[in-house]
Chain A
Amino acid sequence: MNLHEEQERTLSAPGIHGERVPMRDLSREEVDFCIVGAGAGGGVVGAKLAEAGFSVVILDAGPHWSPVKDFVSDETASRKLYWTDERITGGRDPVELGSNNSGRGVGGSTVHYSMVKMRAHADDFRRRTLEGEIAGAELCDWPITFEDLEPYYEEVEEALQIAGPTYYPWGKHRRRFPQREHELNASANMLVRGCTKLGIPVAPCPVSTLSAPHEDRPPCVYRGFCNYGCTTNAKSSILVTYIPRAIRAEAEVRPNSMAAQIEHDERGRVKGVLHFQKGSRELFRQRARNVVVAGYAIETPRLLLNSASALFPDGLANSSGMVGHCFMVHSGHQVFARFPDRINQYKAPPGLALTEHFNRTMPDADFICGYTIEGVGPHPVDFAARIATARGLWGAKLRRAMLDYNYYSGVGIVGEILPQQNNVVKLHETERDQYGLPVPHVIFGYHDNDQRIIGHAIARMREILEAAGGEDTWSADRTAHLLGTCRMGNDPRDSVVNADCRAHDVPNLFICDGSVFPTSTAVNPSLTIEAIAARAASRIGANGRSRVNPS
């Protein structure tokens, strides 16, 4: 063998302040873990495994962003943060994809998320026990409890330095948030005023943007472009928190690498990931003793299905037939109103106040589960698209309505969606992407219960806005987040991974992202994804190198 080939290349990655940081090249090694996706799940599990001493490569289909150089104070120029490859969307209620619910690049969608960091509640982990069987829904308990996850919620909240109120009114009694709450902006004040008038408890939102300096990052300056990438590093995305940790712990973060297939040996154990690198249609192989898939609830099942083989004819880890099924979103419906005072909804993080008052099964309601109401703050392109679509406005009417942009304020929900067998992510029969891979075909329709939640929520949001002094209210249909499709469970017959995120069928394959959610909960999912990933990493580490390195 040629000596030159054995030498490692000297790699570097963008640091968070515009500098370059040295990084190991593991492309020729058989690593302990190859992780597909550098977002909320992959970033956390990758950093923790690297810190535990494992050799780790994290692949991401998109670029490795430099926050201070690449992120732009502009909605349109920030479309590069989204996953815009072709996906076909259908069903009774087709889901709009490619923007808020997608991410491409290191950090995943956490680089543009709204930073709302909520815990799920004890009831969320045992919906089947609490609600019984619901016709048309695949309601089930999680194989873990709130108590199993609680230490990991604390761990992640500490790592991301969540800023929140001294007293948080909902859920199990909790310790203080690591950082103090943020001053409320006009939209949050409006939500507080409306709720207070109606006797609805309301609180400042726990958010992952710094309210005080932390390590090498400054506090938030309230520029309000949180949904388009934070240029000042106040926002605790995975890109500026766990990814630098992973690189310091000698992981390689490999951008512009689109996973095509997970390879396995004759015994059915995975042994590496074939991936395309930018500008090339040639496949590269990363050998690995274990693989973690963390591509979110469309790309994760897509990769497993695209990895079908003679041994796994229905797709990898799919003996249950559940890969791709029980796809869920959150209803993200929003209501806006015009106010007498100037709001300037573009300033500061969009969701700085919330109420979880309706996040529970209410005794007098004709539905189970519920929703959270949060502040929102769309910039003009997003707002114009919403008002045009929601009110059917175009022409002079639209231009006139938009003249009042600064006087509008709105709220939105994270509404629970029940899992349904026929809401599914599958491979499209004929369409292929730029790599020649079958594109995802996403089928979604609301359950009756989902529709009732939405109806209830829109009525409550209108009341809140009107109580706060708003006029001329209108509502916009919207969804947020992608969940399900590789649910966790104890029974290999009806779930894909176990409580530790390990595939039932393949002992050295793990899934660590929103795909593993058995039910959707009615809170923003990023903290729960991160906590699940943190727990999985701890469980894998505790099992020791011998157990995870079966070869």
Chain B
Amino acid sequence: MKGQEFHTRYPGYNVLDKWSTPDWDDQTRRAVRRRLEEIPPIRFFNEHEARTLAAVAERIIPQPDRSGSEKVPIAPWIDEKLYEDERDGYRYEELPPQPRAWRLGLRGIDEAARALFGDKTFVELDPLSQDVVLSHIERGDAPGATWKQLPPARFFKSVLSLTIVKIYYAHPLVWNEIGYGGPSSPRGHVRKREGSVDPWEAQEGKAG
């Protein structure tokens, strides 16, 4: 069955149930509300780039267990980061500035897809073929002229997958899946030893 492989230990746990408890303060509610309700529009990428990025994100973090609108959005936040020019505080000297690196990267992904799979763009490929394309980039042997300007392995490891992973694991839906306690201000925690869990933390095996 689709998505069964991501079976959570914490059925019934919803970190948002704590929204109005002493675990969530106003500033945290504001920050997380934005993540849940104010998905930014695509402003940096063109339509094809945005579709390609969404398809890449679905392979880096597959969400077959969630239908379209339930999926944790990834591409809009990357688009916003680039549109707002939010930097990371460092750039490897072999990489171009962040906006250019992303545009080149997405172009290179299509080039590699075409070279490997008979002139199809990345979004036209089936998931297994898409993984083959990404594996070539990860290993640093992706075909295509663009990858002469952009070191593929560095781009994959330090930019592409890292950015996607950080966005995914910042989402409350995902905190539920992994049983993360989430915000805890001002209440904090009392039970700290192995195997001991506060009543307001994720409980295991309890259907909701």
Contacts and interface: CB of A to CB of B under 8 A. Distances in A.
Contact of A403 (B157, B177, B186): B177
A222 B189 contact: yes
Contact of B9 (A87, A343, A394, A403): A403
Contacts, number: 193
**A185, A220, A400 — which one has the most chain B CB atoms within 10 A of its CB?**
A185
A84 B187 contact: no
Contact of B179 (A221, A339, A405, A442): A405
Interface in B74-102: 86-94, 97
Contacts of A89: 90-93
Contacts of B178: 380, 402-403, 405-406
Given A73-B185, A223-B189, A403-B8, A88 B93 contact: yes
Contacts of B181: 344, 346-347
A341 B91 contact: no
A385 B61 CA distance: 12
Interface string B168-195: 1110001101111111111111101111
A235 interface: no
B39 interface: no
A87 B91 contact: yes
Contacts of B97: 86
A389 interface: yes
Interface stretch (A90-98, A279-287, A508-516): A90-98
A222 B188 CA distance: 5
A90 B188 CA distance: 40
Interface string B138-182: 100000000000000000010001100111111000110111111
Contacts of A186: 192-196
Interface string A57-88: 00000000000011111111100001111111
Contact of A406 (B24, B27, B138, B179): B179
Nearest to A428: B93
A contact face: mostly helix, strand, loop, or mixed: loop
B42 interface: no
Of the four ranges (under 10, 10 to 19, 20 to 34, 35 or more), the interface on chain A belongs to 35 or more
A525 B196 CA distance: 33
Given A343-B194, A394-B60, A98 B7 contact: no
A223 to B, nearest CB: 4
Interface residues of B, number: 64
Contact of B180 (A87, A96, A221, A380): A380
User: Interface of chain B, helix or strand or loop or mixed?
Assistant: loop
B62 A396 contact: yes
A232 B197 CA distance: 22
A342 interface: yes
B124 interface: no
A190 interface: yes
Contacts of B190: 222
A385 B165 contact: yes
B49 interface: no
A384 B25 contact: no
Contacts of B131: 395
A140 interface: no
B165 A384 contact: yes
Given A73-B28, A394-B161, A82 B197 contact: no
B17 interface: no
B91 A86 contact: yes
A465 to B, nearest CB: 14
Contacts of B5: 396, 400
A392 interface: yes
Interface in A196-237: 220-225, 231-232
A400 B27 contact: no
Contact of B61 (A76, A222, A346, A399): A399
A11 interface: no
B99 to A, nearest CB: 12
A98 B31 CA distance: 21
A392 B165 CA distance: 12
A114 interface: no
Contacts of A310: none
Given A94-B93, A406-B178, A74 B183 contact: yes
Contacts of B89: 82-87, 97-99, 102
Given A90-B93, A395-B59, 6 more contacts: A77-B31, A231-B185, A231-B186, A385-B165, A395-B62, A399-B61
Top-10 shortest CB links A-B: A98-B89, A221-B188, A90-B93, A73-B183, A97-B90, A77-B31, A223-B188, A84-B89, A223-B184, A185-B192
10 contacts: A73-B23, A73-B182, A73-B184, A74-B183, A84-B86, A98-B87, A342-B195, A343-B194, A381-B170, A389-B157
